[in-house]
Chains A and B, each alone.
Chain A
Amino acid sequence: DARVTQTPRHKVTEMGQEVTMRCQPILGHNTVFWYRQTMMQGLELLAYFRNRAPLDDSGMPKDRFSAEMPDATLATLKIQPSEPRDSAVYFCASGSRVGGNTEAFFGQGTRLTVV
């Protein structure tokens, strides 16, 4: 059963610490998205990659957030330094247009709490 895997599922950290969230997209998917979900803002697109190249990261605060795809099986989202306002659920999703499919498949998310 192919699925997007995110780790960790939960993370509690102190303000100022570095946080790294990881995502394993579905094998064969060439596009990876990072979304952030909060009660106030709903789902916000942070960044996305196609064939491991960043296409749009305009949704990310550049001074503290960074997203990379070291290889086709791993995407990372890093926050350094973290702040309480970064507390949210971060979702990774992957997709591919092969076969006419247009949907994105979501992981279960990483719930981040910054205290």
Chain B
Amino acid sequence: GNSVTQMEGPVTLSEEAFLTINCTYTATGYPSLFWYVQYPGEGLQLLLKATKADDKGSNKGFEATYRKETTSFHLEKGSVQVSDSAVYFCALRPNSGNTPLVFGKGTRLSVIA
């Protein structure tokens, strides 16, 4: 079956620190991979995506590279800001049909000034 495992939170960092949130997946075929972000009281917003191996998704200083050999899609940012405090979800979508996203459990990030 399809599943996503991401690192447990919460993660607390100081402003300007380097961020890594690990995500690995299990899937048949070649899924699309996503990172969503959820700010307090809001719905999930797409942060970035990658649809094939070695693709790098990037947005707002965040990056993640689709690594088929390690079945990973780790999220990174070189210098976090207080405004990045949110819950981050890794997700996959099998690449056939309009099937639902499969989400990881989410990682809460708190950035302190």
- Listed in ascending order, the chain A residues whose CB lies under 8 Å from chain B are 4, 30-31, 33, 42-43, 45, 48, 50, 56, 91, 93, 95-97, 100, 102-109
Chain A residues with CB below 8 A from B93, complex form: 102-104
Across the interface, do B100 and A106 meet the contact criterion of CB distance under 8 Å?
A: no
Chain B residues with CB below 8 A from A103, complex form: 32, 34, 46, 49, 93
Q: B96: nearest residue on chain A (CB-CB)?
A: A97
Distance A96 CA – B101 CA, assembled complex (angstroms): 13
Q: A100: nearest residue on chain B (CB-CB)?
A: B51
- Listed in ascending order, the chain B residues whose CB lies under 8 Å from chain A are 32, 34, 36, 42-46, 49, 51, 89, 93, 95, 97-98, 100-101, 103-106
Chain B residues with CB below 8 A from A97, complex form: 97-98
Q: A46: nearest residue on chain B (CB-CB)?
A: B100
Across the interface, do A43 and B32 meet the contact criterion of CB distance under 8 Å?
A: no
Q: B32: nearest residue on chain A (CB-CB)?
A: A102
Chain A residues with CB below 8 A from B101, complex form: 33, 93, 104
Distance A30 CA – B97 CA, assembled complex (angstroms): 12
Across the interface, do B43 and A91 meet the contact criterion of CB distance under 8 Å?
A: yes
Chain A residues with CB below 8 A from B95, complex form: 102
When the two chains form the complex, which single residue of A33, A43, A105, A109 contacts B46, counting CB atoms closer than 8 Å?
A105
When the two chains form the complex, which single residue of B42, B97, B103 contacts A43, counting CB atoms closer than 8 Å?
B103
Q: A111: nearest residue on chain B (CB-CB)?
A: B41
When the two chains form the complex, which single residue of A43, A96, A102, A105 contacts B49, counting CB atoms closer than 8 Å?
A102
When the two chains form the complex, which single residue of B32, B43, B49, B98 contacts A106, counting CB atoms closer than 8 Å?
B43
